[in-house]
Structure 1
Amino acid sequence: MTDVELTHLAGTRGDVVVHRWPHPAPTHRVLLAHGYGEHLGRYHHVAAALHANGAEVVGPDHLGHGRSEGERVLVESYDDVLADFHAAAQQTPTDLPVVLVGHSMGGMIAARYAQLHAADLTAVVLSGPVLGSWYPVEEFADGEIPDEPLDVSTLSRDPAVGERYAADPLIWHGPFKRPTLRAIGRCLDEINNGPRITKPTLWAHGGDDQLVPIGPTRAGVARIRGENLTAVEYPGARHEIFNETNADDILADVTRFVTSALRGTPAGLPR
């Protein structure tokens, strides 16, 4: 596994830092979208698993997140985030098959990106995605926003994950921003009323996800799913399934799905 390379691009609202894990002989490229408040530096182990499966891995810190510029977690339109994500994808053009992987808010971004750029993609992986509806939008977009930080115990059954999250200075530990919640609501409406995702898609979700409950996501997936959907629920797993106590098994399921999608064969995972 090679070290990550950091490059920069002129984003819609400032400098965007792009993470790239190059591969000496890649068979495909993975575009990786991180979640709300965090950054792609937390995904080195995910990139390592994908890299070991033959992938070159690329993705940006979204505007207002991580090392990219912008007021922290302020997103006034996800059109800006999607434009930056597409620019990162095009920064080093490739003829390789492209797989899109998104977690949480990044799963929402990935779903919308797949609707807009289906021709560029071979497969899609959605991890605990914000789809359908999301309770913070419904409760706080037009109401009082609580100051309480995220309960890190909801991330994973491994307490070390929450401890590292709480100590990470590149993560936003403050309250939601109202414009961001409203922008998420608009993006969800666009996804709900957009085309179905026809590419092979893996939807993976923790059964005990309290941050992005599985029920509303299930309803959202039903609205946009194509015929080639594989849905896997991991009983007892919390929100960050790639950081769960069984993360190795989950990442093995992801790479098995990706390999099968590239070959055009069934993944053999529960559907």
Structure 2
Amino acid sequence: MTTPVRHGQGTLATGQYWQGWAVPDPVGVVVLVHGAHEHGGRYAHVAERLGATGYASYAPDHPGHGRSPGRRGDIRSLAAAVEGVAQTARAAADRHPGVPLFVYGHSLGGLVALQYLTGTPHERVVGAVVSAPALDTSTATPAQRVLAPVLSRVAPGLGVLTLDAETVSRDPEVVAAYRADPLNHTGRMVARTGTEIMLGAAGMPARLRDLRLPLLVVHGGDDRLMPPSASEVVRQHAGSPDLTVRVYDGLYHEPHNEPEKDRVLDDVVAWLDAHRGS
């Protein structure tokens, strides 16, 4: 028998839009944290898959993304995105008392999730899934590292980087839907968002040392947008005694949107099931 999933939506105190997929008597709650230039609605199929096995899901749209206010593609600051996750987690915890919480962050959302988890996460957070985290800064030149913070201050809306939709998935229908989605930001990444990602990634290794929560890290082996070396940063620096890193050969940037997505999501659900009693 299929578990009924009930969709809801609202606005956080920050002004950000959120949406949720609730199920009766959930065994756990997952806060979904989306990547750059997309929005929480692109995770509806992930939420449906989680809901089928008893997990409720909630997803905020970052500042400047999806249905949240702000300049398109501009997260304002990493702290602002983290606060959206924190408020969503608190609201989800209030709606489902006594139920374990998880965080599932992809790409920029993986960086945001790790920033949240290495700060002051909700006391009921028992683990996290991190997908293709935005932690690789190897392509930034020394000049870019110096100039990025300056540009972020004086020209925060300046377009500095184009994200190729073809790198998202090997499924042409996913790529076409991505391009046609009016809630996605199809322009260049703006200077402020790029700078926040670069600075957040640079500071993450030191933060990860004190992280003790169980972690599942997933990454596409042929990810051309964020190379698998980004997940190695978590493997090398996280203090978590329970850490699993899975690299799926041949997959692109969004493992949850690849032709093999069912296998990936089955692995995610199995990991959640094994950790919800932590």
Q: Relative to structure 2, which stretch is displaced further, 184-193 or 152-161?
A: 184-193
Q: Relative to structure 1, is the Cα distance of residues 6 and 136 closer, same or farther in structure 2, using a 3 angstrom cutoff? A: farther
**How far apart, CA to CA, are the structure 2 residues paired with 1:235 and 1:224?**
23
State the 1:114 CA deviation. 1.0
State the 1:211 CA deviation. 0.4
Q: Secondary structure, in 3 states, of the residue corresponding to 1:130?
A: coil
Q: What amino acid maps onto 2:133 in structure 1?
A: P
**How far apart, CA to CA, are the structure 1 residues paired with 2:185 and 2:140?**
16
Q: Is 1:171 aligned with 2:175? A: no
State the 1:140 CA deviation. 5.5
Instruction: Indicate the residue corresponding to 1:204 in structure 2.
Output: 218
Q: Relative to structure 2, which stretch is displaced further, 55-64 or 92-101?
A: 92-101
Q: Which runs of 5+ in 1 are unaligned?
A: 265-271
**How far apart, CA to CA, are the structure 1 residues paired with 2:193 and 2:160?**
15
Aligned length: 261
Q: Relative to structure 1, is the Cα distance of residues 117 and 132 closer, same or farther in structure 2, using a 3 angstrom cutoff? A: farther
State the 1:135 CA deviation. 3.3
**How far apart, CA to CA, are the structure 1 residues paired with 2:273 and 2:37?**
30
Cα contact 1:154–1:238 (8 A) shared by 2: yes
Q: Relative to structure 1, is the Cα distance of residues 86 and 148 closer, same or farther in structure 2, using a 3 angstrom cutoff? A: closer
State the 1:146 CA deviation. 7.0
Q: Is 1:259 aligned with 2:273? A: yes
Cα contact 2:226–2:253 (8 A) shared by 1: yes
Q: Relative to structure 1, is the Cα distance of residues 146 and 186 closer, same or farther in structure 2, using a 3 angstrom cutoff? A: closer
Cα contact 1:30–1:101 (8 A) shared by 2: yes
State the 1:106 CA deviation. 0.4
TM-score under structure 2 normalisation? 0.87
**How far apart, CA to CA, are the structure 1 residues paired with 2:53 and 2:83?**
28
Coordinate RMSD, CA, aligned:
2.2
Cα contact 2:159–2:190 (8 A) shared by 1: no
Q: Is 1:127 aligned with 2:141? A: no
Instruction: Indicate the residue corresponding to 1:183 in structure 2.
Output: 196
| 1:114 pairs with one of 112, 117, 133 | 117
**How far apart, CA to CA, are the structure 1 residues paired with 2:42 and 2:55?**
18
**How far apart, CA to CA, are the structure 1 residues paired with 2:160 and 2:63?**
22
Cα contact 1:197–1:225 (8 A) shared by 2: yes
Q: Relative to structure 1, is the Cα distance of residues 202 and 66 closer, same or farther in structure 2, using a 3 angstrom cutoff? A: same
Instruction: Indicate the residue corresponding to 1:269 in structure 2.
Output: none
State the 1:66 CA deviation. 0.1
**How far apart, CA to CA, are the structure 1 residues paired with 2:143 and 2:173?**
30
Cα contact 2:74–2:192 (8 A) shared by 1: yes
Fraction of identical pairs, as percent:
31
| 1:156 pairs with one of 157, 169, 190 | 169
TM-score under structure 1 normalisation? 0.89
Q: Secondary structure, in 3 states, of the residue corresponding to 2:188?
A: coil
Cα contact 1:114–1:197 (8 A) shared by 2: yes
**How far apart, CA to CA, are the structure 1 residues paired with 2:81 and 2:40?**
14
**How far apart, CA to CA, are the structure 2 residues paired with 1:103 and 1:208?**
16
Q: What amino acid maps onto 2:174 in structure 1?
A: V
**How far apart, CA to CA, are the structure 1 residues paired with 2:69 and 2:33?**
17
Cα contact 1:33–1:103 (8 A) shared by 2: yes
Q: Relative to structure 2, which stretch is displaced further, 113-122 or 35-44?
A: 113-122
Q: Which runs of 5+ in 2 are unaligned?
A: 152-157
State the 1:149 CA deviation. 4.2
